[in-house]
Structure 1
Amino acid sequence: MLKVQEIRELIKLVDQSSIDEFVYEIDGSKIKMKKNGTVTVASMQPITPTTAPAAVQTIPVAAVTPAAPAVEVKQEDPKVETPTERDTTNLHKITSPMVGTFYASPTPDSDEYVKVGSNVSKDSIVCIVEAMKLFNEIEAEVNGEIVEVLVKNGQLVEYGQPLFLVKP
């Protein structure tokens, strides 16, 4: 008999392959899958001459395969500067030294360390990145002015991900 996890693996493999129909029989049990609009899964009861045929359940393919993500198109005012259009060649990026959660302030009810327009020095704390219950203070590493905050409070950040843009 196949385990539920093994059946799920088979469904994934059939779904990712180019075959349209898959039949698997072992010890009197039978699994049959079709990709032409539905997936058919037979129950895992052994078939003997004295028992009725196995019950068959039909599931729409949409229920098995994840839906494609919705695409949202925004028409923006051409005068508005977006982060991708901004010239960042003269700006210093403060990046995350680790994977974790970004916090803009030391506690939820206190003010943020820095905001856009704040002046920072090399040893100024600009945020906290929490990783595995350890709160790591991140320093600016450069003297200058915060031009842009690139992440939101509570957002997960990756190693090397830019957090702030600083005008030296």
Structure 2
Amino acid sequence: MVKRTKKEFHDYNDFHDRPFGLKWGTAYAMDDLMKGVIANEEYALKNNAAKPLLSREEIDIVLSESFLKRKEVTLQLNIVDEFGRLVDEISGYFSGEAYQDYFVFEDQKIDWQDVRNVSIVDNSKWYKVDMFKSPKKDSLNTEAKFDPELQLEKDNEFYQPFYEEGENHESE
């Protein structure tokens, strides 16, 4: 059986150890402390940009489409926090429950007058998005327009015709 000695920390030059037994007690809490500091900094610096204010009819149209086509929407409320910033947006699905003064969204009662903006979330997969498709259908004409006065010019010095089947070639 090995006999162990008590760990003792002796002062060295101007270094004085802590008077309690746990020497590195705060070292493990540093990660949690820094996560809290970073989260507080992000909260203090965030600023939610105000979206355009929609009318009741425009809000009804978007919520109706969300309900009928089962699309996810985001709500921006016209409510500010204690620092005067707009509160974070709420995302979810509209269940269709609406009344004269309020509607229910994600099990929350929301007054019509508190809604600033409603928009449908585009959940298109990145690999299904057509990068060359115009967002406006009529903005680009799909037919190519060619000027009849343009002529194809070829430099005969460097031009080589393509191999055409059926031609007699000396290598055959």
TM-score normalised to structure 1 length = 0.19
**Structure 1 or 2: larger helix share?**
2
Taking structure 2 as the reference length, the TM-score comes to 0.19
Q: Which has the higher strand share?
A: 1
